[in-house]
Amino acid sequence: GQSFGAFNTKGVTLELEGDANDYFGKGLSGATLIAYPSKEAGFVAEDNIIIGNVAFYGATSGRAFIRGKAGERFCVRNSGACAVIEGVGDHGCEYMTGGCVVILGDTGRNFAAGMSGGIAYVYDVKDQIAQNCNPEMIDLDPVVLEESNELFELISRHYTLTGSTVAKFLLSDFANQMKYFVKVFPKDYKKAIQMAEMKAANG
């Protein structure tokens, strides 16, 4: 139904075998949400929408691992949650201010519009992110080594919890597949990090 796992807090883990409607993980506040299709489902998970629109709206913390795609407006106004998903519809990560999103598949149009903080990593094997994103406030950067280690850990966790075939493939050929990952990095957030690093280096 609607609002599965909304506002759940640290210490709570909810695991869903099946699918869910809109507002999945709304206002997530520290819990872990796991979702994957029924084991009897006769479709390919990564090609189908498993959770509806406006998932993780206003999430502040917590983690999520979703085998399959989300509808539109995924992680709008996310300020601190970390989510792994296998594709999203239009307006993903809109007005996001913090947190981490890993998308192991396609993004819809107007991705990252108004995104001022947080990081999104997109597996862009089809070379579509540049035309699908809203470039006004973000840069598209390569993934550096330290970030690739974090990605590996998140994808490994995704595989362990959901049995994702996408994750299994990526882990089996990670060194070669890394070149297809793009880091969606808000410009103001990047400047703030660079200034903090310069200040730390100068004592």
Give 93-116 pLDDT, tens digit per residue.
999 999 999 999 999 999 999 999
Give this prediction's pTM.
Answer: 0.96
The string of pLDDT tens digits covering residues 34-71 is 999 998 999 999 999 999 999 999 999 999 999 999 99
Q: Distance between terminal CA atoms of the chain? A: 53
| Structural domain includes residue 2 | no
| Structural domain includes residue 4 | no
| Structural domain includes residue 62 | yes
| Structural domain includes residue 1 | no
Residue 203 has pLDDT above 90, yes or no: no
Answer left, alpha or beta for residue 181, where phi above 0 means left and psi between -120 and 50 means alpha. Answer: beta
| Structural domain includes residue 5 | no
Range of the domain at 97: 13-201
Q: What pLDDT does residue 32 have?
A: 99
| Structural domain includes residue 6 | no
How many domains are there within the chain?
Answer: 1
CATH number for position 103: 2.160.20.60
